[in-house]
Amino acid sequence: MKHRSLALLPPLIAIAAALLLWEIAVRAMNVPAYLLPPPSRVAVALWDDRAALAMSTMRTASATLAGFLIAAVLGIVIGSLLSTSRRLERGLYPLTLLFQMVPLVAIAPLLVIWLGNGIRTVIASSAVVAIFPVIANTLSGLRSADPHLDELFTLHHATRWQRWFKLGLPSAVPSMLTGCRIAAGLATIGAVVGEFVAGFGGASAPLGIVIMTSLREFRTEKVFAAVALASLVGFALFGIVNGAAHVAARRYAA
């Protein structure tokens, strides 16, 4: 336990130093708060609106989680399907690449037309940007199974399912989790961009709407507060995936 808390020290010191430098620089150079607020003002904004911001964070977090889960499950399924045949992979993999290349900001308004306003569009936006790393990493993980074992499975007339579950999966789990780690951050970005175009306003508006509203009201410190909370959602999801990775690593440890 002592080891782990010591490991947290360097990043915490770095963050504190960066915040301090930011605070001093903004104050020393008299930068107006509507251009760049000092972190102390961001902290005050966080505290002043804590109740509303907590609600907003919950809304963004639930959409992010849903988008991430869809991306993780669909990504693993699609990656697994593609791994069953080289021809399928060659034919469809470029299509899945589209998810990576698509400029989300441009298609987000279309998602609204297709799915309507509200959480469905936000979740879809989140899933669309998060799915590709899961597909790609699942595929490469399944492909990396020991070729000797692969021959052994063929020798014993293993079914496709047995091959996937007993051979592919154990070797692919680490890369699947890597894909999920990348997807965790992307899912948050996707959700916030989705909220820009499809989030409902009102008392418990999600973080994307809080960012837009605060921008328009020149409350830059609240923009930073909402952005910090959105990052926190991403970090939390990343932490959960990491935790799952630890459990899986113990289970599938060779």
Partner 1 sequence: MSRILRIAFTIMACWVLAGCRDASPSEPAPSTIRLQLNWVPEPEFGGIYAADAAGFFRDEGLQVEIIKGGPGVAAPQLAASGRVEFAVVGGEQILTLGEAGGELVGIYAIYQDDPMAVMVHATSPFASLEELWKSDATVACEANLSWVTMLNEKFGGASLKIVPHGGSIALFAADSNLAQQCFVFAEPVALEMQGVATKVFLVKESGFNPYNGVIATSAAYAKANPETCAKVRRALQRGWERYLKDPAPTNAVMAAMNPAMTKEAMDIAAKRQQPLIESPDTERLGLGAMTAERWSNTAQQLQRLGKITTLPAPEEIFLWGTSAPR
Please name the residues in contact with 115: beta carbons below 8 A apart, sequence gap of 6 or more: 121, 124, 198
157, containing H or E segment: none
Q: Which is nearer to partner 1, 29 or 247 (CB)?
A: 29
* Of 53, 63, 82, 112, the one binding partner 1 by CB under 8 A: 112
* Of 173, 193, 197, 237, the one binding partner 1 by CB under 8 A: 197
Q: Does 33 bind partner 1 (CB under 8 A)?
A: yes
* Of 6, 30, 148, 155, the one binding partner 1 by CB under 8 A: 30
Q: Does 147 bind partner 1 (CB under 8 A)?
A: no
Q: Which is nearer to partner 1, 75 or 199 (CB)?
A: 199
Q: Does 203 bind partner 1 (CB under 8 A)?
A: no
Please name the residues in contact with 208: beta carbons below 8 A apart, sequence gap of 6 or more: 60, 122, 191, 192, 193, 194, 195, 196, 199, 230
139, 183, 134, 182: which is closest to 164 by C-alpha? 139
CA distances to 74, 134, 146, 254 from 138, in Å: 11, 6, 15, 19
Region near partner 1 per CB under 8 A, out of 42-50, 160-168, 212-220, 234-242: 212-220
Q: Per the structure block, which two tokens stand in for 104?
A: 């989300």
CB of 209 to partner 1, least distance (A): 5
Residues in the chain: 254
Phi-psi map region of 205: left, alpha, beta (phi>0 left; psi -120 to 50 alpha):
beta
**Integer Cα distance of 179 and 175 in angstroms:** 6
Q: Which is nearer to partner 1, 27 or 86 (CB)?
A: 27
Q: Does 26 bind partner 1 (CB under 8 A)?
A: yes
Residue count at the site for partner 1 (CB under 8 A)? Answer: 33
Q: How far from each other are the two terminal CA atoms of the chain, in whole angstroms?
A: 25
Q: Does 16 bind partner 1 (CB under 8 A)?
A: no
* Of 174, 213, 228, 231, the one binding partner 1 by CB under 8 A: 213
Q: Where do contacts with partner 1 occur on this chain (CB under 8 A)?
A: 21, 25-26, 29-36, 109, 112-113, 117-118, 195-202, 205, 209, 212-213, 216-220
